[in-house]
Structure 1
Amino acid sequence: MTKKTISALLFLSLSASASALSVKHELGVLDIKAPAKRVVALEYSFLDTLLALGVRPVGAALGNQGGDRGAPPYLAPKVAGIPATGSRAQPSFETVAASRPDLILADALVHKDLYPQLSKLAPTAVFQSRRGSLDDLNAQTLAIGQLVGREAAAKRLLAEQVSLMSKAKAFAKKGAPSFVAAVVTPKTFTVHTNESFAGSFLEDLGRKNQLKLRGNETQYEISLEGLVALNPQTLVLFTAPDETPITEQWKKNPLWQKLSAVQRGRVYQFNRDNWTRGRGPLALKLMVAEAIESRFLQDAAPAGKYNY
């Protein structure tokens, strides 16, 4: 999907009539007779969006099979009692079918090959969630709103988001150096370009992402040597509180100490449960608040827990 402004997305029109809906998605066009009432969400962004719209799914990817981590903790109070239909990586067709859905929301990266099987269980819409930009996710909010009969609510969510981000952007220091942002696990350092969700979000708040789309990759892994070659003046790390990121090893290497971001004292860390896993309207409110509180937007030394 090509990049659009949020204001343009507010006027996105999907074909609909009083008795039927026709919505484009990554693998075609989904036609349903009426707004869905029983929805299964196979990705956290869909779960976040449905809950933000006031829709409680009948099943969701809440499991930890395949090395998944379950739903982000910020959603925990809202998902109690929702049946788990496996994990994102390994959805259970049996439990999805048992939920008797009239709509399944699936991810283009993870579930593309499963689309034929999912479509036999219920009408299925496939969106670019894991590898989507902020604009992609906003477009999905509108599409999901229409599919569940909450289009007006979806437009209100996006209007509120425009207002919130506009206020936050006022904190961004003009002329601040560009940044490199990455998800850091115990084994990998995956950079997020200006076409990733978190990477495009930070750009929309007024800071410049140093990395552009590489081929069709919105995110890709690099080594410490690769990071040194980029030599960012600002570094943003998305880490998990219960993991030891690979950067803890890198900090012992003299190359790490040579990074401009390290020397400037501009290495920020954020909880990736909030920043790169939810990717919906509820998560975005947390992200806006933390972008300001951390002092990242101001290009000031990281505050408290955000200092790495």
Structure 2
Amino acid sequence: MRVVLFFLALLSGGSSLALTTYPVSITHSAGSTIVRTKPVRVVALGPHALDLLLSLGIQPVGYGEASTYIKTPAFGSPIRDIRVLGSRVTSNPVNVGDRFNPSLEILASLKPDLIVGEDYAAQVYPQLSRLAPTLLFKGIDRNDWQKTLPLLAKAVDREVTYAQVLKSYTANVQSTRSVLAPRFKNQTVLVVWTSGGESKYTFNVSKRSDWTGGLLSDLGLNVIDGEKADAVLSIEGLVALNPDVVLVLAAGNSTPTRARADWNSTALTSRLQATQKGQVYFLDYHLFRRIRGPIAAQLIERQLIKEMAPN
């Protein structure tokens, strides 16, 4: 009967049909958590958790993030500027502090009935769990969110919405792949990031098994794999690899504009065939590596089409 109701909801386009029977037990990276009633007041710890919640139509009452990514002066204040995802947030969530070590006092004042974060916050999981049911998910590797989003959807009674999200994601990947795969057929693609400044000529390499490399591979790009996770590469190393295409992600205090200027400030980069072909693209690390969910994927796909296949 549950399956029949599920597909009737899909056919009708509805997303309000209750499918979760509470209490429900959710297994996640930090353990197993019982969610006793449907969550209403949810806190997101980090952009990955925020992407997942927003994709399910859940607006958070609190948000935790590194201070460099939000412009809120103090913990406990409403956040009015969240990078990339801000236009989709309508709840004015309260700043609960660092996503890995948030303020327990502020969290308690929000009276959440669910806290969602990443496994990086595992060290404070016992404290978080005493305040509210807490789910910590792994999200840095290829397709991690596809494994965890259905668990979160079950916890918040949005399983029908999850099915719609997955259907839309699959369609967008196929559409973007149909444009990019022929455009860059038989060409090697290297994805790196740099913080600029003193390390502007040092790059970290994205692997096919991580979020960024995995998504680009799914989009039909032949991503060059690093020897290990976050492998470090010098400009000389770039020249030795000599890829057809390079995606440079500006991290830290850098920006795509600064990364472009740094790239062009040395003659070595001009030797790469990617530079000679005009196939070096400067993009935002925050979008391409930190958010890692279905909304981020859609935004990345749009930007790749705009930058790499403008016609």
The corresponding residue for 1:23 is 26
TM-score, normalising length: structure 1: 0.79
AA in 1 matched with 2:212: A
Q: How does 1:102-251 map to 2 (within 5 A)?
A: 102-108=113-119, 110-129=120-139, 131-133=140-142, 135-171=143-179, 172-173=181-182, 175-186=185-196, 187=199, 189-211=203-225, 214=228, 217=229, 219-239=230-250, 243=254, 245=258, 248-251=261-264
TM-score, normalising length: structure 2: 0.78
Alpha-carbon shift at residue 253 of structure 1 (Å): 2.9
Q: Deviations over 1:259-303 (max 9, x none)?
A: 22112221012233432232222222211212222225xxxxxx5
Are the aligned partners of 2:195 and 2:252 in contact in 1 as well (CA < 8 Å)? no
The corresponding residue for 2:274 is 261
CA distance in 1, matches of 2:138, 2:284: 22
Deviates more, 1:94-103 or 1:169-178: 169-178
Deviates more, 1:32-41 or 1:182-191: 182-191
- 1:43 and 2:46 matched: yes
Alpha-carbon shift at residue 132 of structure 1 (Å): 2.5
Alpha-carbon shift at residue 183 of structure 1 (Å): 2.5
For the residue of structure 2 that corresponds to 1:84, the secondary structure is strand
Are the aligned partners of 1:257 and 1:263 in contact in 2 as well (CA < 8 Å)? yes
The corresponding residue for 1:79 is 89
CA RMSD between the two structures? 2.7
Alpha-carbon shift at residue 44 of structure 1 (Å): 0.6
Flag structure 1 segments of 5+ consecutive residues without an equivalent: 1-15, 297-302
AA in 2 matched with 1:252: S
For these two proteins, the number of residue pairs brought into alignment is: 275
Structure having the higher Rg: 2
Are the aligned partners of 1:72 and 1:274 in contact in 2 as well (CA < 8 Å)? no
For the residue of structure 2 that corresponds to 1:139, the secondary structure is helix
The corresponding residue for 1:52 is 55
Distance 1:282 1:96, change over 3 A: same
AA in 1 matched with 2:54: L
Alpha-carbon shift at residue 98 of structure 1 (Å): 1.5
The corresponding residue for 1:284 is 297
CA distance in 2, matches of 1:271, 1:36: 33
Are the aligned partners of 2:250 and 2:259 in contact in 1 as well (CA < 8 Å)? no
- Which one has the bigger helix percentage? 2
AA in 2 matched with 1:210: I
Distance 1:223 1:113, change over 3 A: farther
Are the aligned partners of 1:194 and 1:213 in contact in 2 as well (CA < 8 Å)? no
Deviates more, 1:139-148 or 1:197-206: 139-148
Are the aligned partners of 1:72 and 1:278 in contact in 2 as well (CA < 8 Å)? no
Alpha-carbon shift at residue 180 of structure 1 (Å): 0.9
The corresponding residue for 1:7 is none
Distance 1:161 1:236, change over 3 A: same
Alpha-carbon shift at residue 137 of structure 1 (Å): 1.5
Alpha-carbon shift at residue 72 of structure 1 (Å): 4.7
Distance 1:295 1:22, change over 3 A: same
CA distance in 2, matches of 1:69, 1:247: 24
Distance 1:73 1:17, change over 3 A: closer
Q: Deviations over 1:74-95 (max 9, x none)?
A: 3223335111111325422221
CA distance in 2, matches of 1:163, 1:241: 33
Distance 1:229 1:124, change over 3 A: farther
Alpha-carbon shift at residue 19 of structure 1 (Å): 2.4
Alpha-carbon shift at residue 252 of structure 1 (Å): 2.9
For the residue of structure 1 that corresponds to 2:222, the secondary structure is coil
